[in-house]
Structure 1
Amino acid sequence: MHVAQELVASLDKLASLPSVYYRVRQALDDPDISLNTLSDLIGSDPALSAALLRLANSAFYGYPRRIETISRAISLAGLEQVGDVILASSIAATFGGIRPQRMDMARFWRGSVRCALLCRGIAQTQGSNDTERHFLLGLLADMGHLVMYHAIPDLSDLVMGTAGMSLEALATRERQLIGCDFAEVGAALAQSWRMPVSIGATVGEQLHPESAGEYSQGAAVLNIVRRIDEMCEAGASLDDTIASLPESILVLGDIETEELPSLIVHCEAQLHEMLASLGIAAS
């Protein structure tokens, strides 16, 4: 049997995010940072530069002329969107060499980015001033599976073949056959990256938010967006998707049901462009 920390520790490459992420993140948090300084910092990393330029030139923004400079891309996208792209690109780069043969990587990244966009959207409707934290939560929600498929591919494949489609059934089978579930591994990954305790705790409690204590609201939001992602992948209608969401978890997450249809549609519109900006195929 395995423990979550052991699986994360087995992957040396995942010890930390790229250092440029922390430098850019610090710059974005500085209210006095100049556009030129930020542009130079992002421009020092070819992958980050390419991701930001791809997003700025995407159909989502629909700018009539091609954006060719980092400074113009920042001005067009805005600092919040820049932060999201930098974070997603850094995590994608960290996992870039991990390509488990038995895992549907297009489905994995599509779900991760969809959950990140939904988490951020819900946070915005709730008036949060820390939407990047919520984007990060959504992005990390299923990272445990990527770690597990790389560290213990045979066991992970066995679980996937017997657990059915629901996250709860999958996690139960993982605990039975492996000794820990994907949420626990995701929490251990966040801890190894020295992220705030609240991030790891929320990711780890996503399957049972009612027991998450002070992190219950965030865990409930994460639980809801994972359910929405499952329904979207199944091709369900908006009405069926909303109707499938447990009322108790919606209340715990302080989520207004009437705002979800337009939010889901908006996030789906963003999804392809965000994936494209990261150089990830949508399907």
Structure 2
Amino acid sequence: MSAALLVSNTQTLFSFPDVALRINHLIEQPTTRPDDLAAVILCDPGLSARVLRLVNSAYYARATPVATVSQAVRLIGQRALRDLVIATYATDLFKGLPPQQVNMERFWFHGVACGIAARELAIQCGLCGGEHLFLAGLLHSIGKLVFFSQCAEAYLNVFQLIESDKLTVVAAEEQVFGFNYADLGAELLKKWRFPELLWKAVAYHLTPTSAPDYRLEAEIVHSAEQVATIVQSTAIDGGDTLAASAAECLKTLAVRLALPEETVLTLPNMINLQIVEVFEILLPGSTLIY
């Protein structure tokens, strides 16, 4: 079975609510006004509250509070709003997976950290529209959730290969399924009609140098994932896991992205507050396991 076939066979399980689809449709229409979008968002009170919390969070660093959804749309723009709506609903799609398969709080914390790091790195690289790489970073590992939810029994073979043959996750997935979680995630994002640059950034984030196009986007998501691992080590795992190697890793990323070393070295601390705040908004009531 190919990644595309697996996604096609299960896409109804991973479809967005009508509100998200209507917002996506409206944004594609040149005559859409901010009030049109606000009216749709207000149909979902929970979404309205989360959008306002996100717009007023450290992620956007607004000098004055945003009081209404209409005002939020005008301030951040329609496409940024779509990113927030998709992020909000995406975190709800895979609820209910057994905790022995995946700790969802840790999974989404890592995703949020990767998304925010990708956004900041894209801005630093001067990438036009790079703020939209937040979604690519947030969802870079979503293929894992498709594996866990649809291929739970077969995925046990992946764990066995990791344990017995000391294979990496990616190598074990490719041996069992013929494709890996990045391939699967990219196929899902294609089905969700994400822009090509986003699903290709996910598809090639494991091996950016092999990307036929959008190589910088893939490189940014690749680097952001490593930054997210460092942040997660500090915020959740006690701070010592990667302490010795973190600086060298970040210096290497600076070279790969042609950024000033200090810019990348300070990134984990700079985005830490944003990550915690956005995580708590996207997953209200979640408790990270320290």
TM-score by length of 1: 0.80
1:144-223 alignment to 2 at 5 Å? 144-160=143-159, 163=162, 169-223=168-222
**1:162 CA drift (Å):** 5.0
Deviates more, 1:140-149 or 1:31-40: 31-40
CA distance in 2, matches of 1:145, 1:43: 32
Aligned 1:235-246 pairs, distance under 5 A:
235=239, 236=241, 240-245=245-250
Query: 1:54 deviation in Å?
Result: 3.4
**AA at the equivalent of 1:274:** V
Give structure 2 stretches of 5+ with no counterpart.
234-238
Query: What is the CA–CA distance in structure 2 between the aligned matches of 1:231 and 1:44, rounded to whole Å?
Result: 39
Q: Give, in angstroms, the shift of residue 119 of structure 1.
A: 0.7
Amino acid across the alignment from 1:242: A
Distance verdict in 2 for CA 1:31–1:117, change over 3 Å: farther
In the alignment, what sits opposite 1:271? 275
2:214 alignment partner, SS class = helix
Contact 2:109 2:275 in 1 (8 A): yes
Contact 2:251 2:264 in 1 (8 A): no
Shift of 1:124: 1.4
- CA distance in 2: counterparts of 1:36 and 1:188, whole angstroms: 33
Q: Which runs of 5+ in 1 are unaligned?
A: none
- Hey, what's the Cα distance between the residues in 2 that align with 1:181 and 1:84? 25
SS at match of 1:11: helix
CA shift at 1:186, angstroms?
0.9
Cα drift, residue 58 of structure 1: 5.5
Question: Deviation at 1:82?
Answer: 3.9
Encode CA deviations 1:218-255: one digit per residue, 9 max, x unaligned: 111111111222233333567732312583x6545444
Confirm or deny: 8 A CA contact 1:206 1:220 kept in the other structure: yes
Check the 8 A contact 1:210/1:252 in 2, yes or no.
no
Q: Who is 2:236 aligned against?
A: none
Letter in 1 for 2:247: I
Alignment of 1:17-36 (within 5 A): 17-25=16-24, 34-36=33-35
Measured after TM superposition, the shift of residue 122 of structure 1 is 0.9
1:117-128 equivalence runs, <5 A: 117-128=116-127
* Contact kept? 2:38, 2:69, Cα under 8 Å: yes
Q: Distance in 1 between matches of 2:4 and 2:37?
A: 35
Could you tell me whether the CA contact under 8 Å between 1:27 and 1:33 is conserved in 2?
yes
Counterparts in 2 of 1:203 and 1:217: CA distance versus 1, 3 Å: same
Alignment match, 1:139: 138
Question: Hey, what does 1:41 align to over in structure 2?
Answer: 40
Whether contact under 8 Å (2:51, 2:84) holds in the other structure is yes
1:14–1:125 Cα change, 3 Å: farther
Flag the 1:198–1:82 CA change in 2: closer, same or farther, 3 A. Answer: closer
Cα distance 1:255–1:58, how it changes in 2: closer, same or farther (>3 A)?
Answer: closer
Paired residue type of 2:275: L
Q: Structure 1 residue 30: deviation in Å? A: 7.5
The one of 69, 78, 84 equivalent to 2:76 is 78
Identity of aligned residues (%): 26
CA contact (8 A) 2:219 2:257 kept: yes
Q: Give how far 1:214 is off.
A: 1.9
Change (3 A) 1:65 1:204: closer
Amino acid at match of 2:187: A
| Conserved? CA contact 1:116–1:136, under 8 Å | yes
- C-alpha change, 1:62 and 1:221, in structure 2 (3 Å) is closer
